[in-house]
Copies of this chain bind each other. A is one copy, B any other.
């Protein structure tokens, strides 16, 4: 998933047409639910290039179903509005010209109400189409699944973009009221080092469900034995780095990271605010005291790597991460996902088992020191969907494990997310290796 998101499903033999409509409606409702606490005004602005207006997301997700499914498979379907293809295409050159990305937040029309009407129009026609499911070709099933996965990717973006949008106002508005019983200063249990067996291992998705094309082909890889920390790095630990002058010492930084830190005046993670000697953090619940026990998040790759250098360790590669995940068999139920409504990674309980590997799935995407490059033998799909993943495979780093903004059903250990090294508005975090 990414600003620019991801790709082609493969062999979805897992799909049974029985529950298609139910599943479609559940996924679609989740997008609307995320926008419900917003005002119309919040849905139209774009305070920075990476962030898209929520209204745009809502329309774009519908455009995806309209373009790839309704126009292809529903006989006699008429598009909701002829200009919407121009307005809500994200990055598909195959599908013609579109609004410049930087201008998404300068256009107030169509109004939010029309975009909801667009969603309703698409939903009604999708219901018609899904009623014909048994007569549709296998390719349809793949595209249908892809449409749902795509919607889920944009749900994560909605959660992070909404946070960014609200953060730009000096009023520090809350997206939702803060839970009243949140403890904020307890410390996390000390991290432990867990040994991982390297050697020859398979990497890539081997299941029978959905995966993106970038998780394939499955292939063998070799890594040496290594150790991984059993939890994410916490705010308390990261604060030590800050207090030790980490942002002022070039020796810990990659050159391009150091230039960025100087140019932008970075001195803490995104959303951290120092006020009267106390650290606060902007959250979906407004400005809150920094939770020292919680994992540090919303940092760039440069910061993650500089922290690791300072600590004397390193970030894992994506192969190491996937091998470890296979070995430790993480329990998805233990992670924090979008469905929790918490919108922040959660502290590890004080009594967590120190011999287990925690927080692998959910909570925070883990920066790896691996490029987002094609797996050996990777082939881009033909047509517009060939643009879904393949064209982004340079100059980005892989992140693994999903975050507190990822829908739980969307993630798996082989999932490859990718961002540029300077991005930090996603729920990104650090796990150390050595």
A301 and B394 contact, Cβ closer than 8 Å, known pairs A41-B44, A87-B170, A222-B221: yes
23 chain-A/chain-B pairs, Cβ below 8 angstroms: A39-B40, A39-B109, A44-B44, A45-B107, A47-B106, A48-B106, A83-B171, A93-B258, A103-B168, A105-B105, A107-B168, A108-B165, A108-B169, A109-B173, A110-B169, A224-B376, A253-B391, A254-B391, A255-B391, A258-B391, A369-B373, A394-B397, A394-B421
Q: Does residue A223 face the partner (Cβ distance < 8 Å to B)?
A: yes
Interface residues on A, range: 35 or more
Rounded to whole angstroms, the CA-CA distance of A314 and B103 in the bound complex is: 36
Chain B nearest Cβ from A245, distance in angstroms: 14
Closest to A87 in B: B170
Is A223 in contact with B421, judged by CB distance below 8 angstroms?
no
Is the C-beta of A166 less than 8 angstroms from some C-beta in chain B? yes
A58 to B384, CA, bound (A): 45
Q: Closest residue to A200 on the B side, CB-wise?
A: B222
Instruction: Please determine whether A41 and B394 come into contact, CB atoms closer than 8 angstroms.
Output: no
Residue A68, interface by CB 8 Å: no
Q: How many copies does the complex hold?
A: 4
The answer to whether A47 touches B369, judged by C-beta atoms less than 8 angstroms apart, is no
A107–B47 touching, CB < 8 Å: yes
A121 interface residue per 8 A CB criterion:
no
Is A341 an interface position by the 8 A CB rule?
no
A250 at interface by CB-CB < 8 Å: yes
Residues of B within 8 A of A46 (CB): 106
Produce 1/0 per residue, A31-68, CB < 8 A to B: 00000000111111111100000010000000000000
Q: Is A187 an interface residue (CB 8 A)?
A: no
Chain A residues numbered 350-386 whose CB sits less than 8 Å from any CB in chain B = 369-371, 373-374, 376-377, 386
Q: In the complex, what's the smallest C-beta–C-beta distance from A428 to chain B, in angstroms?
A: 15
Interface of A is mostly: mixed
Docked-complex contact A108 and B41, CB < 8 angstroms: yes
CB interface residues, A 304-359, toward B, < 8 Å: 305
User: Are A251 and B106 within 8 A (Cβ)?
Assistant: no
Please tell me if A80 contacts chain B, counting CB pairs below 8 Å. Answer: no
| CB of A94 to closest CB in B, whole Å | 8
Contact at A386–B251, with CB atoms within 8 Å? yes
Complex interface: chain B residues within 8 A of A393 (CB): 254
A267 part of interface (Cβ distance < 8 Å) = no
| A430 in contact (CB, < 8 A) | no
Q: How many angstroms from the CA of A336 to the CA of B47 in the assembled complex?
A: 38
CB distance from A308 to the nearest CB of B (A): 12
Known: A386-B251, A394-B421. A41 touches B111 (CB 8 A): yes
